[in-house]
Amino acid sequence: MKIPAYIPLLLLAALPASLAHAAGPTDIQKEHYARTCTSLYNAAVLGTEDISMVATDTVKARIAAGGNGKSVPQLVKPLGGVESLGISDLVHLNYGDVFVCQFRHVKGYSVWNIAYSPMTHMVEDISLKLVADPPPPPPKPVPKPSTQPATQAPGPTSSAPGNTPATPSQSEACKMFPDLC
């Protein structure tokens, strides 16, 4: 049986998409997670969206419970309206992704650690931190490396004992949301 000519082209076209997940977050992923953060915020704080469309019962219970005897909307309200949203610290785990949504408010910021499952398309777990002070200034840009060629090719390096990188099950993301590991 002869394989149609377009099949190898389809496989070749799909290759970059499969490698993108392994290489790091793409603009499309960041945009998707920004929409997820916005939907969760709108549902949890403003009540303008149905939270069951974006979050599990666990997340709904955490939002209702809030902290210090107040619900999440009561905790976030003193910070004022949202001025901007940033997505950072995306970590891919075995059963989902963990990332940070930082909402900059008029009088501070809120940091939402999100455990998201691409399989269910739901926020599976959440932790929230509210800060009344403005966020710290962004880090200074890292200088670009020199464009001059190296005089000696870098050799293999070995890490010192005890300095091995953490496996996904040992990462901070796994400690925070172990169900995704």
For residue 180, the model assigns a pLDDT of 81
- Tens digit of each residue's pLDDT (9 = 90 or more) over 32-47: 999 999 999 998 888 8
- Over residues 94-121, the mean pLDDT reads 93
* CATH, domain range 25-136+173-177: 3.10.450
Return the ∠ at Cα 17 (arms to 15 and 22), rounded to 5°. 95
**pLDDT of the residue at 18:** 44
Average of per-residue pLDDT across 82-96: 92
pLDDT in tens, 51-66: 888 999 999 888 888 8
Question: Which helix or strand (DSSP H or E) is residue 164 part of?
Answer: none
pTM of model > 0.85: no
- Whether pLDDT at 116 is above 90: yes
Q: Cα–Cα distance between 144 and 48 in angstroms, integer?
A: 44
Average pLDDT, rounded, for the chain: 77
Sorted by where each begins, the domain ranges of the chain are: 25-136+173-177
